[in-house]
Amino acid sequence: MWWRSASFILDRQQHQNRTVAPSPESFLLSSPPPMADSPLNPKSNISAYYQTRAAHHAVVTSDWLAQAQAAVGRHSDDDGSLGDDKGAAPIGGGGGGGEEEGSGKAFSVIDEFNSWRKQPALAEAVAAIRALAAVIRTSEATTMMELEIELKKASDSLKSWDTTSISLTAGCDLFMLYVTRTSALEYEDFNSAKSRLIERAEKFGEISCKARRIIAMLSQDFIFDGCTILVHGFSRVVLEVLKTAAENKKHFRVLCTGRPDRTGLRFSNELAKLDVPVKLLIDSAVAYTMDEVDVVLFGADGVVESGGIINMMGTFQIALVAHSMNKPVYVAAESYKFARHYPLDQKDMSPARRPIDFGVPIPSKVEVETSARDYTPPQYLTLLFTDLGVLTPSVISDELIQLYL
């Protein structure tokens, strides 16, 4: 399972270099810093995932980029923090779960999740993992059965928060499998078993948080000097890949699709800060410029059992054009986005909507397509860069079996 992950190689290197024993408390289980509330509109027909996505990731600050750079170069960090998450609480930080001291406020897994996910550099699935870890830490259960039931209810609550978010569902499912499936729990007293669950939750969180940095390192062999890379939308893992390439003194340029949701504009702004040559183009100009492209690089909302991906609208048509012109199509995706779905066509997945701003008033009788994402079949993808390794689409099914077994 996770022992195949490249992060375990890094863990072993870190273990050999350690001179100070780590704190027994986990960064994963510490509470997030207080953040300003930004409630969603629960009655909106727009997916909660897409209501908040732009707000979360619209600004990737230079501080965050500096921290990502430090994370890429740090192979033996043992300072009590997980390098790629800015603003996270240190080990032994104040408790955010359970009943707050003197306030009498009961622990809520949704509140904990909402606190974590407001951090711009933190993936939504990782925020859910941290919230579930806090459930274990604050649980007052006295038996393993009670604790597992409590965890299952918390996981179901998080998944129902937005049923259209593939990574959120996959992250919760993988957390439950990884943390609770160990035969040792049957032979230990409850306190020891609970401690073991906390350790496994911590390990799962570390793997998830390191994923972006590992992917960036593994993908460098596929970015060469003088290449032109086409990207679509705003993907933090793709940004990390390109940022690492720039730090390695590779010379390349990037083409960003820019409409209609301005994600390409935000992505190009971040690349401009790194002095990477970047060019904006409208989505309908992809075929026109494909002859200039050497590599197409996507992120993903989810990786499915077929080996295909579900990603923001327009990914499929770009992959079709690239495939017809023999351009390699690469996908950078964390393993916690591996989902047990097998879509048969574009409509065979949970609907997700996003607001579309055309910049002009739309007549009331005109219907507007607001679908947020599409499905790209595996035959149009070349390789997937994951924290489990560089995989072909045909290997994804085997990896999913290993993860969910």
- 61-77 pLDDT, tens digit per residue, is 444 445 444 544 543 34
Residue range 158-214, pLDDT digits in tens: 888 877 788 888 888 888 887 777 655 555 677 777 787 888 787 787 777 788 899
Give the per-residue pLDDT at 331.
95
- Say which residue the tokens 């593994």 belong to: 218
Q: Kindly give, in sequence order, each residue whose CB lies less than 8 Å from that of residue 352, ignoring residues fewer than 6 positions away.
A: 47, 49, 50, 164, 165, 371, 372, 373
Residue 229 CA to residue 234 CA, distance in Å, equals 14
In terms of C-beta density within 10 A (0-12 exposed, 13-18 middle, 19 or more buried), how is residue 148 classed? middle
Place of tokens 């679908």: 371
Cα separation of 129 and 125, whole Å?
A: 6
Cβ-proximal residues to 226 (8 Å cutoff; 6+ apart), any chain: 251, 252
In this prediction the pTM is 0.68
Prior bond of 393 cis (ω within 30°):
no
pLDDT at position 46 is 55
Residue 274: CB atoms within 10 Å:
17
Residues 6 or more apart from 154 whose CB is under 8 A from it?
109, 131, 132, 135
Domains of the chain, residue spans = 109-210, 215-354+370-404
Give the residue ranges of the chain where pLDDT is below 70: 1-105, 182-188, 259-260, 351, 405
CATH node for 109-210: 1.20.120.420
Tokens of 35: 């953040």
If you classify domain 215-354+370-404 with CATH, what class do you get? alpha beta
The DSSP element (H or E) to which 391 belongs, if any, is strand 389-391
Q: Do 109-210 and 215-354+370-404 come out as alike in CATH topology?
A: no
